[in-house]
Amino acid sequence: MSYETVIGLEVHLQLKTATKAFCGCSTTFGRKPNSQTCPVCLGFPGSMPVLNEEAFLFAVKVALALNCKIQDLIKFDRKNYYYPDLPKNFQISQYDMPLSYSGFLDIFGRDNTKKRIEIKRVHLEEDAGKLIHQGCDNSSLVDFNRSGMPLLEIVTEPDIDSPQDAYAYLIKLKSILEYLKVSDCDMEKGSLRCDANISVRKSGERNLGTKVELKNMNTFKGVRVALEYEVKRQISLVESKENVAQETRLWDAQKEVTISMRSKEEAEDYRYFPEPDLVPFVVDKSVIEKIRQSLPELPEAKSLRLVKEFGISEYDAGVLTSQQELADYFEACAKLYPDRKVIANWMMGDIMSQLNLRNISINELRLFPDGLAGLLKMVDTGIISGKMAKSVLAEAIETGFGPEELVKKKALSQISDAAKIEEIMKVVLEREAKTVKDYKLGKKTAFTFLVGQIMKETKGRANPAIVNELLKKRLEQ
Ligand SMILES: [Zn+2]
């Protein structure tokens, strides 16, 4: 029996505004607990929320970048529930008239075909406080600095049919969000969080299976592995004719299992009703258009342009535009060096591996575009070999010196002078007289050995093409 998987994702994104969503408290991360609070975000009776304009503009930016329609009349609602980190017993959110709806995001799915993931809605809400379970005597502490921070909820339709595609969607979404510069998108700090809904059904069946909500995945890889686990768990329940319970399950990253947390609430359980302190409002079309015009060139458009303008492959363009800073670096190099495929190869090879090795971003790299262009030009003109260029690149990144400066300083330059090479060759051939004899008797591998000996003698600095040419000439005399 084969099964289909149905996944929907809910991403929560903390917006990088200076102040909270409905009050003037600061949003700076890591301050002393409860030092950034006021009657509004603590939920004192009679305090009145005021919508933060910056948060609203950021939200519209994201909605437009995800191809959503902006609602004509926008309304905030109260989502009622009790939790110790939510002192007013409700969260200001959006229910039936969210900021935006009906968007989409195109991804390259698991079989490398383009897939469109429909986005149901992007809405604005406020974050709750944070419980810290490390008080004395097993008590918990609560920090309200996060209470009232602006959060975007980005919800897909149950449109994703595999954990791999869920992963591809999250990577693409994060890349777009980073381009927009509306959030630091840092999963470790909790500014980007993802929950997933997942169900399975027998292939061809029309009704959806019972869905389970997954929480507590702290990395995108964690989302993928948790979903993979859950697909197996649900299929085995169905196979053994047991019920899949509708519930919320927590991912335990250590044990790599999901654990039942609570039965899942339905929207009705929250008793949504309109937030009486924030009136519904209409946004002028011209304001929306202005925000649309201000959107940066997004990864997909940039990727297409790089392919067209610089002739690099679609794959390379996809990797280079996954981060705006990488694409900027590439374009800066492309202005200084004519062979763009070579630039792409170096960036995706040696430079990326240096970034990974050092766990830094390209902005922190101590090799600037002019340095890389200079290095590539030295290879072209034969001043250094390709192999030498690799070690110069690593040293430039390590020391912060420019590649040209390093080559000059260490007299690293390649020996291309024929007379000098002949001189070294003479010494080597005298020493290796037996190998020369073997070569003349027909042992062709002896040639490679002799080239190797000459390269060794020059510490790898001889121009290999010239060595080959001269050695051939000499042995054939
Ligand atoms: Zn406040």
**pLDDT above 80: residue 271:** yes
pLDDT of residue 319: 92
Q: In angstroms, what is the span from residue 218 Cα to ligand 1's centroid?
A: 27
pLDDT of residue 321: 95
Q: Mind listing the pLDDT tens digit for each residue in 275-306?
A: 999 999 999 999 999 999 999 999 999 999 99
Do 317 and 199 belong together in one domain? Answer: no
Do 238 and 352 belong together in one domain? Answer: no
The domain that holds 435 is classified in CATH as: 1.10.10.410
Q: In angstroms, what is the span from residue 196 Cα to ligand 1's centroid?
A: 30
Q: What would the mean pLDDT of 259-274 be, rounded to a whole number?
A: 83
Residue 413 banded pLDDT, cuts 50, 70, 90: low
| Radius of gyration from C-alpha coordinates of the chain | 30
Question: Which of 409, 429, 464 lies at the terminal end of a domain, its last residue?
Answer: 409
The sign of the dihedral angle between the CA atoms of 370, 372, 373, 374 is: positive
Q: In angstroms, what is the span from residue 145 Cα to ligand 1's centroid?
A: 8
Q: Mind listing the pLDDT tens digit for each residue in 12-71?
A: 999 999 999 999 999 998 899 999 999 999 999 999 999 999 999 999 999 999 999 999
Do 114 and 17 belong together in one domain? Answer: yes
pLDDT of residue 411: 64
Whole-number Å distance between alpha carbons of 77 and 269: 14
Do 296 and 280 belong together in one domain? Answer: no
Q: In angstroms, what is the span from residue 29 Cα to ligand 1's centroid?
A: 14
Q: In angstroms, what is the span from residue 195 Cα to ligand 1's centroid?
A: 27
Q: What would the mean pLDDT of 318-325 be, rounded to a whole number?
A: 93
Q: Phi then psi for 263, rounded to 5 degrees? A: -70, 145
Q: In angstroms, what is the span from residue 92 Cα to ligand 1's centroid?
A: 14
Whole-number Å distance between alpha carbons of 363 and 357: 15
Q: In angstroms, what is the span from residue 125 Cα to ligand 1's centroid?
A: 14
Q: Mind listing the pLDDT tens digit for each residue in 149-195?
A: 999 999 999 999 999 999 999 999 999 999 999 999 998 888 999 99
Q: In angstroms, what is the span from residue 46 Cα to ligand 1's centroid?
A: 14
Q: In angstroms, what is the span from residue 215 Cα to ligand 1's centroid?
A: 27
Q: In angstroms, what is the span from residue 49 Cα to ligand 1's centroid?
A: 9
Q: In angstroms, what is the span from residue 114 Cα to ligand 1's centroid?
A: 44
pTM value is 0.82
Q: In angstroms, what is the span from residue 294 Cα to ligand 1's centroid?
A: 30
Q: What whole-number percentage of the chain has pLDDT above 70?
A: 99
Number of structural domains found in the chain: 3
Do 94 and 198 belong together in one domain? Answer: yes
Do 467 and 353 belong together in one domain? Answer: no
Domain interval for residue 378:
291-409
Do 309 and 323 belong together in one domain? Answer: yes
